[in-house]
A and B are shown apart, each in its own frame.
Chain A
Amino acid sequence: EIVLTQSPGTLSLSPGERATLSCRASQRLSDTSLAWYQQKPGQAPRLLIYGAVNRATGIPDRFSGSGSGTDFTLTISGLGPEDFAVYYCQQYAYSPGTFGQGTKVEIK
């Protein structure tokens, strides 16, 4: 089973700042099969990025994904008040699909 390790566990930032979230896979992922989700308290996860770099429908362009192989990054270029949430990465290159443990982006 592929283990995804997200860092940091918590990111304390102010609105307008840039957020950089990391996701590292225990094995190389083929086809950049990595997705990012945002989850707010009491809500279901929402797809942000798929294929490591592709924004899902309706996702603002301040969200961007990058990376390949074992190292992936989600960048939020300027945090809006609605962006404070928990973010998960997911690999779907290998079965079973697995999720990272999450990074919480909180208001500083």
Chain B
Amino acid sequence: QVQLVESGGGVVQPGGSLRLSCSASGFSFSSFGMHWVRQAPGKGLEWVGFIRFDASNKYYADSVKGRISISRDNAKNTLSLQINSLRPDDTAVYYCAKPSQKYGYRDYFDSWGQGTLVAVSA
């Protein structure tokens, strides 16, 4: 059974940084590309970024490009999201999401974590 568990969220001041983690189990993590998706309070879903299974390619949404970095540790089955220069409009629940296919960049998401809340406030 696929399980994705995010952690690392919290309250951060504008301009600060945060590193989120997603611990994966129940599938061959090292074989799958992975995504981050976020959801501002009361709003819809926004794709944030993707990392290929071997980290050789990464793609980011224009809204966060230059401020975020996605990485992974396949030995530890862990996905990470580093967000810098945080702004109030980055306030959201951040989800890691597994695509249905191993490459999985243009794909739908068959499993989601429970999310971790990032609140950017002075």
Which A residues contact B (CB, under 8 angstroms)?
Answer: 33, 35, 37, 43-47, 50, 56, 88, 90, 92-102
Contacts and interface: CB of A to CB of B under 8 A. Distances in A.
Nearest to B104: A92
A98 B113 CA distance: 19
Contact of B44 (A92, A94, A102): A102
Interface string B85-122: 00000000001000010000111111111110000000
Contacts, number: 53
B53 interface: no
Interface string B61-86: 10000000000000000000000000
Interface of B: 44-47, 59, 61, 95, 100, 105-115
Nearest to A94: B106
B106 A99 contact: no
A99 B44 contact: yes
B106 A92 contact: yes
Contacts of A97: 47, 106-107
A88 B106 contact: no
